[in-house]
Amino acid sequence: MSNPSPLSNESIAPSNPETERDRGRLRRSVKRPAQFLSFWGAIALPFVHLPLLMQGLGDPHVTLAFLALLAINVLALYLGHGYNQ
């Protein structure tokens, strides 16, 4: 003999198809510009690496900046890889 759950499923509203459609439209409207910026950022960021490499990575601040830019570049490559396919 099981006790009924204290939470009822009646409080959970069924998903509205219009809301799902709006979310999909919003997702598409944000995805395209984000891919565009990531794609072109991944192309441009290596040019920012060059002055840091020419200066040398002996200074810890320069090394940290280089590694941060490298991580951002990898993230931009991942986010922008599907642009314009």
Q: Which residues of 51-82 are buried (b: 16+ CB within 10 A; e: fewer)?
A: ebeeeeeeeeeeeebbeeeeeebeebeebbee
d(CA 61, CA 67): 10
d(CA 21, CA 34): 20
Half-sphere exposure of 80 (CA within 13 A, CB side): 18
> pTM of the predicted model, to two decimals?
0.66
The string of pLDDT tens digits covering residues 21-73 is 777 787 878 888 889 999 999 999 999 999 999 999 999 999 999 999 999 99
